[in-house]
Amino acid sequence: MRVAILGATGAVGRTMLQVLEERGFPADELVPLASERSRGHTIPWRGRDWTVDVPAPEAFRGVDIALFSAGGSRSREWAPVAAAQGAIVVDNSSAWRMDPEVPLVVPEVNGRRAAERPRGIIANPNCSTIQLVLALEALRRAAGLTRVLAATYQSVSGAGQKGIEALRAELRGESPTASPFPAPIAGNVIPWIGPRDAAGWNEEEDKLRNESRKILELPDLAVAATCVRVPVEVSHSIAATVELGRALTVPEARAALAAMEGLEVTPDERDPLPRALAGRDVVQVGHVRLDRDLPRVLHFWVVGDNLRKGAATNAVQIAELLASA
């Protein structure tokens, strides 16, 4: 099987290569693609060096699966080209997520949708959405969902390698040359991720709302988020409040969450922490409690590695579905 990676030299692209190797993905040829400045560089993978090229129609010829992680504009430009060459594109950007002809897939939740791809493109959801919908789907199966409130605490790697470099530079006492953040991030939290609309909602907050509805196939589900960037290198955390269709006890809720593939429920005395989840594919849920006043409302804390399950691993899992079809 021939696999292309567009954005192979970026933070998520490199993680995709690592995950493909770790999971023994059945690929025997790699086509690493990136920007002009990376052309000619080599990437070690599975015991040999692969030369990086730039995207072009001929680069996708004979490719079975193309994993994209190079931003929305490049995805809009090259995903249709790759699909026209016969590749199935799994795109990590926001470019195609809300296209009605493009499935938005978290394999544990709606993996069957990967087979429905009239444009030859499958969208990988936003990193925070992926980890949250795993918990939401578990609770939906047990008791139904009425409303979701979420406050996200998103690591700097969600802004790519530039985000990581900006935080490291600030911690060294330097001024970053190309920070992707609207304010200093070291020793700070920034409630501004993506453009803000006239109503005051940031783009990241709309992504979580719209994508969760599409993945769960609940177009009228009430979802509201406050998305915040925090000075953590890897792993996103979410404080979630969910109104259920019927009341659950804490043991019932924990059992429902524990039964969900890809989720791990932590003991009461050990809450999920970003440092502990960095480098892991599992999403952890903890600090589960019932609201003191509203019997159908549940509160919990969700943490996952945004580079792995929140991006690269979810994309590779989609590719695995395609390879096994």
Per-residue confidence (pLDDT) for residue 265, from 0 to 100: 98
Pairing of strands 65-68, 88-91: parallel
Instruction: Categorize the per-residue pLDDT at 164 as very low, low, confident or very high, splitting at 50, 70 and 90.
Output: very high
**Amino acid making up residue 191:** P
Hey, where are the domains in the chain? 2-124+311-324, 128-306
Per-residue confidence (pLDDT) for residue 187, from 0 to 100: 97
For 190-243, the pLDDT digits (tens) are 999 999 999 999 999 999 999 999 999 999 999 999 999 999 999 999 999 999
CATH fold group of domain 2-124+311-324 = Rossmann fold (3.40.50)
Radius of gyration of the CA atoms of the chain, in A: 20
Per-residue confidence (pLDDT) for residue 247, from 0 to 100: 97
Mean pLDDT of 177-184: 94
Q: Which of 41, 227, 236, 299 is catalytic?
A: 236
Displacement of CA 255 from its chain's centroid (Å): 25
Instruction: Categorize the per-residue pLDDT at 246 as very low, low, confident or very high, splitting at 50, 70 and 90.
Output: very high
For 20-43, the pLDDT digits (tens) are 999 999 999 999 999 999 999 999
Mean pLDDT of 58-83: 96
CATH for 128-306 (3.90.420.10, 3.20.10.10, 3.30.360.10, 2.40.30.20): 3.30.360.10
Q: Which of 127, 227, 287, 299 is catalytic?
A: 127
User: What's the burial of 152, exposed, middle or buried (CB within 10 Å: 0-12/13-18/19+)?
Assistant: buried
State the average pLDDT for the chain. Answer: 96
Contact in structure between 204 and 182 (CB atoms under 8 Å): no
Per-residue confidence (pLDDT) for residue 275, from 0 to 100: 96
Q: Is 163 left (phi over 0), alpha (psi -120 to 50) or beta?
A: alpha
For 270-319, the pLDDT digits (tens) are 999 999 999 999 999 999 999 999 999 999 999 999 999 999 999 999 99
Range 10-23 burial, b when 16+ CB lie within 10 A, else e: bbbbbbbbbbbeee
Catalytic (active site) residue 236: yes
Angle between helices 127-143 and 203-216 (to 10 degrees): 40
Per-residue confidence (pLDDT) for residue 207, from 0 to 100: 97
| pLDDT at 268 > cutoff 90 | no
Contact in structure between 3 and 29 (CB atoms under 8 Å): yes
How far apart are the C-alpha atoms of 102 and 201, rounded to whole Å? 25
User: What's the burial of 151, exposed, middle or buried (CB within 10 Å: 0-12/13-18/19+)?
Assistant: middle
Catalytic (active site) residue 41: no
Instruction: Categorize the per-residue pLDDT at 269 as very low, low, confident or very high, splitting at 50, 70 and 90.
Output: confident
| pLDDT at 11 > cutoff 90 | no
Mean pLDDT of 139-151: 98
| pLDDT at 325 > cutoff 90 | no
